[in-house]
Amino acid sequence: KAGVTQTPRYLIKTRGQQVTLSCSPISGHRSVSWYQQTPGQGLQFLFEYFSETQRNKGNFPGRFSGRQFSNSRSEMNVSTLELGDSALYLCASSPVSVAVANRVGYGYTFGSGTRLTVV
Amino acid sequence: GNSVTQMEGPVTLSEEAFLTINCTYTATGYPSLFWYVQYPGEGLQLLLKATKADDKGSNKGFEATYRKETTSFHLEKGSVQVSDSAVYFCALSRTLIGGTSYGKLTFGQGTILTVHP
């Protein structure tokens, strides 16, 4: 079956612009999480959606936002881009609610990421 | 808060050598522990997991045992291959007493492994 699909794979934006990244989870998966990966900070949690509701949010400024649609596809948006937003953005999906996933130790399936470069 | 500490890298080994990557954690409640692997240009893949103390996760020759007394989850492999060259991440997810849980993984900084023929 198809894995987690993230589009686009690469993106170059100018400081001050905004960007929207897309994530299509594995069919049947209802939970989608987003992570930012940078050489300096490593992997940091952005937010998590389940059944179109944001369930958890990391320590990022309000410029970072997201949403989930009824088909479980998710988008994240970054407004007023800064140079420091350059990173690999990873999306992960899980078939069950996060409460169940964590209780049984279900690892999430990650996409290949979107490489965002802000110039 | 939760945190995961991995051994400093990079780690360079010859093929068929024994591998250990250390991982220790700090968390309240009863975390589940994971090892993820990231190959160049790709996302993360779940390598193995353990959900409670003394559980051993294993996959593709890799093993890790959940040690609550030492708060550790060290990754081991008896004989590495060139194809094992990648970045390895230790991670935890937390479940509190009473079932409240959080939908995020807390990752270590990652350890770069390079295996030479």
pLDDT of residue A99 exceeding 70, the answer is: no
> What average pLDDT is seen over chain A?
90
| Closest partner CB to A103 (pick from B43, B44, B95) | B95
pLDDT reading at A53 higher than 80? yes
> Is there a contact between A100 and A106 (Cβ–Cβ < 8 Å)?
yes
What's the confidence (pLDDT) of residue B35?
95
Model pLDDT, residue A102: 63
pLDDT cut 70: percent of chain A above it? 91
Residue A22 predicted with pLDDT over 70: yes
CA distances, B10 to each of A40, B7, B41 (Å): 15, 9, 18
Residue B43 has pLDDT above 80, yes or no: yes
Number of alpha carbons in the 13 Å side-chain half-sphere of residue A81: 19
Residue A50, pLDDT > 50, answer yes
Q: Which residues does chain A have within 8 Å of residue B34's beta carbon, measured at their own beta carbons? A: 105, 107
Lowest mean pLDDT among A98-107, A110-119, B48-57, B93-102: B93-102
* Any A CB within 8 A of B100 CB: yes
Q: Which residue has the tokens 């007023």?
A: A80
Per-residue model confidence (pLDDT) at position B101:
44
As a whole number, mean pLDDT of residues B36-47 equals 90
Q: pLDDT band for B40, please (50, 70, 90 cuts).
A: confident
3-state secondary structure of A27: coil
Please judge whether A105 and B32 are an interchain contact, meaning their C-beta atoms are less than 8 angstroms apart: yes
Q: Is A111 on the interface with B (CB under 8 A)?
A: yes
**Most A-contacting residue of B44, B49, B106 (CB-CB within 10 A), to test interface:** B44
Query: What phi-psi label fits residue A82: left (phi over 0), alpha (psi between -120 and 50 degrees) or beta?
Result: beta
* Higher-pLDDT residue of A107, A5: A5
pLDDT tens, position by position, A60-77: 999 999 999 999 999 999
| Cβ <8 Å between B94 and A102 | yes
Question: Are the Cβ atoms of A98 and B100 closer than 8 angstroms?
Answer: no
SS3 label, residue B95: strand
Assign A101 a pLDDT band (cuts: 50, 70, 90): low
> Would you say B25 and B2 are in contact if contact means Cβ atoms under 8 Å apart?
yes
In this predicted structure, the answer to whether residue B102 has a pLDDT above a threshold of 60 is no
Q: Taking the CB of residue B33, how many other CB atoms lie within 10 A of it?
A: 27
Is the pLDDT at A19 greater than 90? The verdict is yes
To which H or E segment does residue B27 belong?
A: none
pLDDT of residue B21: 97
